[in-house]
Amino acid sequence: MRQTIVAGNWKMNGSKEMVNTLILGILQGMPYIESQVIVCVPYPYLSQVESLTTHSQLQVGAQNLNANPFGAFTGEVSANMIKDFGAKYVIIGHSERRTLYGESDTIIAEKVKIALENDLTPLFCIGELLEERKTGKTETVVARQVNAVIDKVGIESFKNIIIAYEPVWAIGTGVTATPQQAQTTHAYIRSLLAQNDVNIAQSVHILYGGSMNPNNAKELIACEDIDGGLIGGASLKSDDFLSICKAG
Ligand code: PGA
């Protein structure tokens, strides 16, 4: 039985004051939640969130990292640095990174590798564009994205990887995949992993992301192969985020 995982992706939102209010709000609700809960915050707030969440069950992640360990990479942040500031998780391969910053499957696989080498759990994101869904390419696209990482780090590494299936057309649009659409793709992703290792395929967490909110979370998470959510917009309000956490 896979425990539900709910992760917030704050994206480029926040201020010291907002972070304080949001984290304290989430912490108040934590005793009533059985899901594993993670917040993935912008780099500058990692330290603040680390301090606020000490001795709590709330876990902390970053939203990106550089695939190199250190060096002349102006403006970049390494796996070691985010770990130093309390992150145990890191989002890798989010569609905004893939489309706005040109991150290829190869770069993403390298980032997954360095995260694992630093004992960070990647929240590895995959998902198809609207055009790809319309033309029946969803499975080809997610297979390509997943296989790039399997080829780089091996199937065994998926014991320490969380997958987030986020159809790009559902991110930030208010259009959510129907539970059936999401379940079908989640089951397909699990079957891809099963071609390599049946036990790992059964144990890996596959989260759904894309306009998940308090109204649709329960029905999505109830699907057999949906093990929780990666939440953008609705993770910025503690009440909304907590009610999604309770849906698990
Ligand atoms: P959304 O974002 O919940 O605002 O659609 C999800 C994500 O991008 O991870």
Per-residue pLDDT tens digits for 154-176:
999 999 999 999 999 999 999 99
CB-ligand 1 contact for 231 (6 Å cutoff): yes
d(CA 5, CA 59): 11
- Tell me if 168 CB under 6 Å of ligand 1: no
If one residue of 90, 163, 230, 240 were mutated to test the ligand 1 pocket, choosing by the most ligand atoms within 8 A of its CB, it would be: 230
Cβ of 93 closer than 6 Å to ligand 1, yes or no, is: no
User: Which atom of ligand 1 is closest in space to residue 209's alpha carbon?
Assistant: 6
Is 115 in contact with 148 (CB distance < 8 Å)? no
Q: Of 6, 168, 171, which is best to mutate to test ligand 1, by the most ligand atoms within 8 angstroms of its C-beta?
A: 171
Question: Considering Cα of 132, then 136, then 140, then 146, what sign does the dihedral take?
Answer: positive
Do 111 and 120 contact (CB within 8 A), yes or no?
no
Mean of the pLDDT values across residues 180-187?
Answer: 98
Look up residue 73 and give its amino acid. F
- 55 catalytically annotated: no
- Token pair belonging to 3: 């425990």
Reported as a pLDDT band with limits 50, 70 and 90, residue 114 is very high
Give the C-alpha distances (Å, rounded to integers) separating 219 from 36, 176, 177: 18, 12, 11
pLDDT given for residue 35 in this prediction: 97
Is the minimum distance from the CB of 59 to ligand 1 under 6 angstroms?
no
Q: Give the closest residue to 105 by CA, choosing from 122, 131, 124.
A: 124
DSSP one-letter string for 113-178: HHHHHTTPEEEEEE---HHHHHTT-HHHHHHHHHHHHHHHH-GGGGGG-EEEE--GGGTTTS-PPP
Residues 6+ apart with CB under 8 A from 161: 112, 116, 121, 122, 124, 149, 153, 204
Mean pLDDT of 84-92: 97
Express each pLDDT in 1-33 by its tens digit: 899 999 999 999 999 999 999 999 999 999 999
- Residue nearest atom 6 in ligand 1 by C-alpha distance: 232
- The predicted model gives 85-89 an average pLDDT of 97
Residue 84 has pLDDT above 90, yes or no: yes
Tokens of 128: 């198809």
